[in-house]
A and B are shown apart, each in its own frame.
Chain A
Amino acid sequence: MTETPIRRILPLLLLLAVVAAVAALVTLVGGDEAQLTVTEALIRLTVVVGISIFIGNSGVVSFGHIGFMCIAAYAAAWATCNPMWKQLMLTGLPMFLQENQYPFLAAVGGGAVLAAAVALVFGAVILRLSGIAASIATFAFLAIVNNVYSNWDTVTAGVSSIIGIPTVVDPWIGLAFALIAIVLAFWFKNSRMGLMLRATRDDPVAARASGVSIVRVRLAAFVLSAFVVGLGGTLYAQFLGVVTVDMFYLQLTFVTLAMLIIGGMGSITGAVVGVFAVTVFVEFFRYLEAGVTVGESVFGLPEGSQEIALGVGMALILIFMPQGLTRSKELKLPRSKGRPVPAALTARELPAGS
């Protein structure tokens, strides 16, 4: 490739700047409620970028990543919540977790590493499957995580919540981790591994003929992506202060996939745009649901309309813009002059309908 190093990381810098600027602006200008929205959106951004590390580069749709989020969030809850409560309610936890309360960063790191470790074991088993079979297996994984965490009463408190997790995550912490996630995703995408993985996505036969081990490169992406999703999970636990197993099931899987698809599955910019678009969209509908006063009367949409709108929006994107709002391309500055770059080098798109 003839691109200079600066040219290559320019999209990354641009993306980081835009995310930071938007988040900072809303946080500084908006009130408390806006801050909560921004924090949650940034956590979701971390998760969605994490998911896109695997789906975007490998082309294999995973329905199981929210399972990693669940694992990491519970790990963070185990690490940080009040020891008295743990000794009373979570008697099955190992002693080092029961008796101590760990700092924020230890909980974040521990949770993400646990998610990555589970991904390593599980991925080694299922990633030899191809296409839709792998997707089904990831779905089965999500169901297993949900079933285990719903019933392992002495460790996860079953279907009831783990409460009293210190809520230390503010917009700035959320922003820091979202930026880290984006950097990691970019680094991986342009790394040797990432290139090989994208080669297996675009043409598995040719990639294999060039000596790429599909299982190995997929596994690398799977583990990294579970790690980043795990980061998001630990943040989420320490943002809400409560974890319940039902938070991490079909609903969240749907919302995060919707974000990825609406933005464009094939690019990191797509993940960012998707989170932004869906957040704005959902907030708008939430505002309408709360009721808008026009003169004397209040007009409000009934409960459930934001979800319906999201589902309809996603279907429309799938039908009319299968590559998403960004057409699965990365952000880049318009070129004023210089040599033309062949289309094949700039637009690495997911093969549509192949």
Chain B
Amino acid sequence: MINFAQTFIDALSLGSLYALAALGIGLLFGILRLINFAYGDLITLGAYALIIPSTEAVATLFIGNWPWFLVIAAVAVVVVVAALASDFLVFRHVRRADPSTLMIASFAVSFVIQNVILMFYGSRPKSVDLWSNLNYQLQMGEVRIPLLQIVTILATLVLMGGLTLLLKRTSLGIQMRAAAEDFRMARYLGVRGNLVIGLAFALSGVLAAVASLLLLSQVGTLSQTMGVPLMLFAFIATVVGGMGSLVGAATGGFAVAFASVFLQAYLPDELRPFRDSFVFGIVILMLLVRPSGLIPTKALVERV
């Protein structure tokens, strides 16, 4: 039972991180049908923003030494600018292309960001000490909970709440939801396409920034591919949850995290290294039996 509670909390905190990242991917897919592979690299970029402008072999924090709210704001600015730039330079020009082409375009963006980071910082991972006091463990009965997990869960709740308010209560948010539902129709009704898309990129950038800070305080090491695994899991989370649906993305994030944490805990020892294969297998299964995901939307219905 104790083991179960511990596993449950692990899954909850991992799920929060996946849900954050999945929301960022889901936002863009809903409106643009863009599966943004570069999202993982935006997360990486956010983490590297902490050590700008130092490029020495030993990382020194610059932004990373500011008070926490300034850190979040500064990293968010960097990532949002990068996200908007990727739209402005690339995605804006291939908007009419089919989803596979968009996915390939995002592959190209991802490749460029990764190698720009490589160019400046080299390929050796750098250890960075961000908010290490979050590793403090709270003892609750027999269950130990790292403070970081609680912070992760709280941060996700706050951001999801904020996002929900924005989408439900503000005019821009309603326009975004309309665009996600039916982009062409929304434009006929006066929704400004580029504004809504820009906003979606900016919001996904904010989510990526927070995800990158949480990820970095967890792993403590910078590397130019650090965001890729998170992006992969977030991506499959959006598939499991239902592409284009934000509730689906969040649900999918938790579903994938629970599947992966519980497989890790309860798979027989010799199968444990293959856990990710099971998770990806679940995705294929999901596509086959319920292609529209847990929370279906109109986004994936292909019209004849």
**Which residues of A are interface residues toward B (Cβ below 8 A)?**
60-61, 63, 125-126, 128-133, 135-137, 140-141, 143-144, 147-148, 151-152, 205, 250, 254, 257-258, 261, 302-305, 307-308, 310-312, 314-315, 318-319, 322, 352-354
Contacts and interface: CB of A to CB of B under 8 A. Distances in A.
A318 B108 contact: yes
A250 B302 CA distance: 28
Given A125-B284, A318-B105, A307 B111 contact: yes
Given A250-B228, A303-B119, A308-B116, A315 B277 contact: no
Contacts of A148: 274, 277
A260 to B, nearest CB: 9
A49 B295 CA distance: 39
B108 A151 contact: no
B112 A312 contact: yes
Interface in B250-285: 273-274, 276-277, 280-281, 283-284
Nearest to B113: A311
A130 B302 contact: yes
B112 A311 contact: yes
Contact of B304 (A135, A136, A205, A304): A205
A289 to B, nearest CB: 11
A314 B108 contact: yes
Contacts of B302: 130-131
Contact of A140 (B33, B96, B111, B283): B283
A132 B100 CA distance: 6
Contacts of B288: 125-126, 128-129
11 contacts: A61-B100, A61-B101, A129-B288, A131-B100, A151-B273, A257-B107, A303-B118, A305-B115, A311-B115, A315-B89, A353-B101
B287 A137 contact: yes
Closest 10 CB pairs of A and B: A151-B273, A61-B100, A311-B112, A304-B119, A307-B115, A311-B111, A353-B96, A304-B115, A319-B93, A140-B280
Given A129-B287, A132-B300, A318-B105, 14 more contacts: A61-B100, A133-B300, A136-B283, A144-B280, A254-B108, A254-B111, A261-B104, A302-B119, A307-B111, A308-B111, A308-B119, A315-B108, A318-B108, A322-B97
Contacts of B107: 254, 257
B103 interface: yes
Contact of A257 (B104, B109, B283, B304): B104
Interface in B95-131: 96-101, 103-105, 107-109, 111-112, 114-116, 118-119, 122
B286 to A, nearest CB: 10
A352 B97 contact: yes
B39 to A, nearest CB: 14
A311 B108 contact: yes
B239 interface: yes
Interface of chain A, helix or strand or loop or mixed?
Answer: helix
Interface residues of B, number: 44
B63 to A, nearest CB: 23
Contacts, number: 129
Query: Which of B98, B118, B300 has the most A CB atoms < 10 Å from its CB?
Result: B98
A7 B104 CA distance: 35
Contacts of A303: 118-119, 122
A304 B118 contact: yes
A148 B279 CA distance: 12
B99 A132 contact: yes
B90 interface: yes
B239 A318 contact: no
B287 A136 contact: yes
Contacts of B114: 307
A319 B283 contact: no
A216 B111 CA distance: 35
Given A125-B288, A126-B288, A144 B277 contact: yes
A39 B72 CA distance: 49
B232 interface: yes
A252 to B, nearest CB: 12
Contacts of B284: 125-126, 137, 140-141
B101 A143 contact: no
Given A126-B284, A319-B94, A61 B116 contact: no
Nearest to A129: B287
B236 interface: yes
B291 interface: yes
